[in-house]
Amino acid sequence: MRTGLIKRRSGYFIFLCLLLWGTAVYSNSFFGSFHFDDEQCIVNNPSLRHATDVVSLWRYWPTRFVTFFSLALNYHIGGLHVFGYHVFNFLTHVATSWLIYVFVLLTFKSPEVKKDRIAAHGKGIAFFVSVLFLVHPVQTQSVDYIIQRATLLAAFFYMASLCFYVLARQERVEGFSCNRWKILYVGSFGCALLSMFSKELAVTLPLSLCLYEYFFLKRERSSRLKWMLPFLFILFVVPLTMFFVKMFSVPVDHFKETRRIVWGFSEVAPLDYFLTQLRAFWTYGRLLFIPVNQNLDYDYSFSKSIMSPEVFISFLGIISFLYVAFRGVNRYRLVSFSIFLFFIMFAPWFFIGLFPESSVMAMINDVIFEHRLYLGVLAFGFFIVCGLFYFFNDLKVFKRADSARRFRPVIVILFSLSIVFSFATYQRNKIWKDEVTLWSDVIAKSPDKARGYNNRGYAYLKQGRLDLSLQDFTMAIKIQPDLAKAYNNRAQVYFDKGDFNAAFLDFNKAIEIQPDYAKAISNRAAIYLKEGRFDEALADYNEAIRIEPGLSGIYNNRGDAYMKAGNTDLALSDYSIAIELEPEFALAYSNRGFVYLKKGDYDRALSDYSKAIAIEPDSAQAYNNRANIYFNKGDVARALVDYDRATKIDPSFGDVYYNRAVLYVRLNDTGGVERQIVELNRLNRYDLAQRLKDIIDGK
C-alpha cells in the first residue's frame, strides 16, 4: 500500500516539475495572436459560437469534432481572448509530456526490457525523454499555433491509448482482476477513437501497437493478433465517417474548404510529393538534432525523379538507417525501437500524397510543417536518451566505475541539452507574437515564396498600415502572378485608400484567375454599390451567394445594397439570414436594427442593438444607434448614457456629438449644444456644426 502511495506521489511530483518547467519556457507565448488558419477556423467560424450546437460543430469538420468542440468551449468561456486558447494548448502539451513519462516507465516494466543492461535507470530515462519532448523548439508550432490544437489533442489521446493498452497487457499477464484489465483495454480503444476525431494522425496507432508488441510483449502470434485486431478499425474511421457524411447530405464541400488553403495553383503530383518527402525526411531529422532556422513556410522545391542524386541518396540513407535499426534490435533494443517508432509516426507524410482524394490528406503543396514532427519528438527523445545510456554503459573506460559515476556525464549532457532547447524554445516563441513578426520571419527565410508577403500584407491591412500592406501584396504578385488572394487583398487596400479604379482592376484579375472566388466577387460588388450601379452590385452578390451560400458576410453586404436601393424588406430578409448563419454577427444585428428603426419598430430595433452591444461591447456605432432609439422613445436618461459610452469608445465619432446635441436642443440645454459644436469643430466636422447652428437659429 505504501509503495503504491509513493509511486503516485512520484508521478504527481514529475507532473509538477514538467508543469513548472514548461511554464517557464512558454511564459512568453500566452498572449500571441491568432495566426494563419486560426482566422478561418476560429475567429470567423460561426459554428464555434455555441458549444451546445454539436450539429454545427460536426458539420464544420466531422473528423476533427473533438478539436472543434474544445475550441467552442474556449469561445464559450472567454470569447476570442487568446489567453484561454493558449493555456489550453499549453496544458495539453504538458499532459502529453507526462503521459510520455508514464509510457517510458511502463516500457521498462515489460519483460523484454527488465533484463536490459540500462533497465535500472528507467526513471531517469523516462524523465529526460519527457523533458526533451516538452522543451524541444520544434514543438513551438504545435503549441503556439492555436489551430494546431488538433495535433496536441490527437497526440494526447494517442499516448493515453498506448499507456492504457500497455497497462491492460501487463495486468492481464500478471493476473490482476479480469474487470480491471478489461476496463483499461476499453479505455485504450476509447482514447484511440478520441485521437482519431481530433486529428487523423491516429491512423498510425495500430502500427505503433504492433511495433510495441513485437519489441516488448512477445507472446504467441495468435494472442497478439487478438489484442490488436479491434484497433485496426481505427484505419476505417475517416473513410466511414465521410461515407455517412455524404449519405446524410451534410455539406461536404464546406468540410473540404476547412481542410484546404487554395493558393491559385494546382496540387502537386502525388509521386512528386512522395519523392520530395524522401528529401524532407532529412530536413526533419536535422530539425530534431539541430533546431535552427525554423520556419513556418519552408521554400522546398519538388523532386521529379527518384534517380536525381538528392532523392536517390536520401532513399539509400533511409534504407540504411532502417537496416542498422534492425540489426541492433537485440543489443540496442530501445534505440532500435525509437527508430522504427519514428518511421511509423512519420509514415503518413510519406504516403499521404499518393491518395489525392483521401479525407486524411492535408494540402500536399506544403512539403514541410514542423507540427508533423510533434509525436516524432518522442522517438527522438528515446533515441538520444537511451543511446547515451547505452554508450556510457558500454565504454570500457567506465567499466570499473560504479553506476553513479558511470552515468554522471549522461545526466550532465541531457540536462545541458534540455536547457539549450528550453532557451531556443523561449526565443522561438517570440516569433509567434503576432502576424507581422511571424510572417516577417518567414520572409527572411523564404524570400522567394509569395505566401509570406501576402500574409504579412494582410496583417498590415488589418492594422491599417496600408502603404506597407500594398508593398507586400505587390511583391507577392510579382513572385506568383496567378495568386488570386494577393490581387483580392491588394484591391482591398486600394479600396480603403479610395482608389476604386485600381481596386476594380485587381478584383477583376482575382476573379479571372479564380472564377469561383466568392469573396472577390462580393468585394467587387461593393465598388458597384459605391458607384450607384445597384443592378451590377446585386448580380455580383447573387453570384457570390450561389458559390458560397454559407457566408454570412455576403448576405449582410447584399442587405446593404438593398437598403441603398430603398428595398427595406429584402434588406431585412438578408440581415436575418446572415444572423441565422452566424448568430454572433454583431454588424448584422446592428444593420437589422437600423431597418427596424426606419420602419418605426422601436422595440425590435432596441432588441437588435442590445444584442449587437452584447456581442461587441466596444461598438460605438451600436451605442449611438441604440441611443437614437431611446431618444425616439423619449427615454432621455438612457439615450445620454449610450451617447456618453459611444464617445468614450470612439472620441472621433462625429455623428454621436451631433445626435447628442439634437437631444440637448430638445431639452433647451444651450450649453450642452455649444459643447457638442466645440467637439465637432475639433474633429473638422464643420458641416454638422453648421447644421446645429441652423437648427438653433431656426428654433
Please write the tens of the pLDDT for every residue from 272-310: 878 888 888 899 999 999 999 999 999 888 888 888 888
pLDDT of the residue at 267: 59
Q: Are 22 and 418 in contact (CB under 8 A)?
A: no
- For the chain, count helices (H), then strands (E): 36, 0
Q: Are 137 and 25 in contact (CB under 8 A)?
A: no
Report the C-alpha gap between 52 and 467 in whole angstroms.
43
Q: How far is CA 122 from CA 8, 107, 125, 135, 330, in A?
A: 16, 9, 5, 20, 18
Q: Which residue has the cell 511509423?
A: 344
Q: Are 133 and 96 in contact (CB under 8 A)?
A: yes
Name the residue type at position 500: F
Report the C-alpha gap between 207 and 162 in whole angstroms.
11
Model confidence at 361, pLDDT cuts 50, 70, 90, reads: very low
pLDDT of the residue at 255: 47
Q: Are 119 and 7 in contact (CB under 8 A)?
A: no
Phi then psi dihedrals of residue 145, to 5 deg = -90, 105
pLDDT of the residue at 261: 39
Report the C-alpha gap between 93 and 86 in whole angstroms.
11
pLDDT of the residue at 349: 59
Mean pLDDT of 149-161: 96
**CB-CB neighbours of 218 under 10 Å:** 12
pLDDT of the residue at 113: 86
Mean pLDDT of 607-630: 89
Report the C-alpha gap between 487 and 481 in whole angstroms.
9
Write down the domain spans for the chain. 2-259+268-431, 449-509
**Helix 178-196 crosses helix 205-216 at what angle (to 10 degrees)?**
140
pLDDT of the residue at 131: 98
More confident residue, 696 or 210: 210
Terminal Cα-to-Cα distance of the chain (whole angstroms) = 92
Q: Which residue has the cell 570499473?
A: 400
Say which DSSP state 115 is in.
T
DSSP secondary structure string, 306-348? TTSHHHHHHHHHHHHHHHHHHHTTTTSHHHHHHHHHHHHHHHH
Say yes or no to pLDDT of 354 above 60: no
pLDDT of the residue at 219: 61
Phi-psi region of 245 (alpha: psi -120 to 50; beta: other; left: phi over 0): alpha
Report the C-alpha gap between 188 and 181 in whole angstroms.
10
Q: Which residue has the cell 509503495?
A: 3
DSSP secondary structure string, 477-544? HHH-TT-HHHHHHHHHHHHHHT-HHHHHHHHHHHHHH-TT-HHHHHHHHHHHHHTT-HHHHHHHHHHH
Q: Are 586 and 552 in contact (CB under 8 A)?
A: no
Mean pLDDT of 31-41: 91
Q: Between vectors from CA 607 to CA 605 and to CA 613, what angle results, nearest 5°?
A: 105
Report the C-alpha gap between 525 and 505 in whole angstroms.
13
DSSP SS3 for 384: helix
Write out the three cell numbers for 497: 485608400
Model confidence at 259, pLDDT cuts 50, 70, 90, reads: very low
Distance of CA 417 to the CA centre of its chain: 29
More confident residue, 189 or 46: 189
Model confidence at 678, pLDDT cuts 50, 70, 90, reads: confident
DSSP SS3 for 601: coil
Mean pLDDT of 397-426: 84
pLDDT of the residue at 367: 80
494-515 pLDDT, tens digit each: 999 999 999 999 999 999 999 9
Averaging pLDDT over each range in 137-146, 221-230, 266-275, 572-581, which range is the top one? 137-146
Say yes or no to pLDDT of 51 above 80: no
Report the C-alpha gap between 421 and 417 in whole angstroms.
6
Report the C-alpha gap between 268 and 273 in whole angstroms.
6
Name the residue type at position 215: F
Report the C-alpha gap between 95 and 158 in whole angstroms.
12
Model confidence at 417, pLDDT cuts 50, 70, 90, reads: very high
530-562 pLDDT, tens digit each: 888 988 999 999 999 999 888 888 999 999 999
Report the C-alpha gap between 138 and 151 in whole angstroms.
13
Mean pLDDT of 309-331: 89
pLDDT of the residue at 107: 93
Say yes or no to pLDDT of 385 above 70: yes
pLDDT of the residue at 357: 36
pLDDT of the residue at 125: 94
Model confidence at 346, pLDDT cuts 50, 70, 90, reads: confident
Q: Which residue has the cell 454621436?
A: 656
pLDDT of the residue at 401: 60
C-alpha gyration radius of the chain: 30
Q: What is the mean pLDDT of the chain?
A: 86
Model confidence at 362, pLDDT cuts 50, 70, 90, reads: very low
Name the residue type at position 150: A
Report the C-alpha gap between 679 and 675 in whole angstroms.
6
pLDDT of the residue at 515: 93
CATH of 449-509, one of 1.10.10.1400, 1.25.40.10, 3.40.120.10, 3.90.1200.10: 1.25.40.10
Q: 3-state SS of the chain: helix, strand, coil percent to 5? A: 80, 0, 20
Write out the three cell numbers for 164: 492504457
Report the C-alpha gap between 97 and 599 in whole angstroms.
60
Report the C-alpha gap between 117 and 54 in whole angstroms.
52
pLDDT of the residue at 174: 63
Note the maximum CA span of the chain: 108
Mean pLDDT of 377-388: 94
Q: Are 578 and 555 in contact (CB under 8 A)?
A: yes
Report the C-alpha gap between 14 and 126 in whole angstroms.
10
Model confidence at 233, pLDDT cuts 50, 70, 90, reads: confident
Mean pLDDT of 432-461: 95
pLDDT of the residue at 114: 83
Say which DSSP state 387 is in.
H
Burial bucket for residue 277 (CB in 10 Å: 0-12, 13-18, 19+): buried
Mean pLDDT of 325-346: 89
Q: Which residue has the cell 490488436?
A: 228
Report the C-alpha gap between 423 and 139 in whole angstroms.
13
pLDDT of the residue at 84: 95
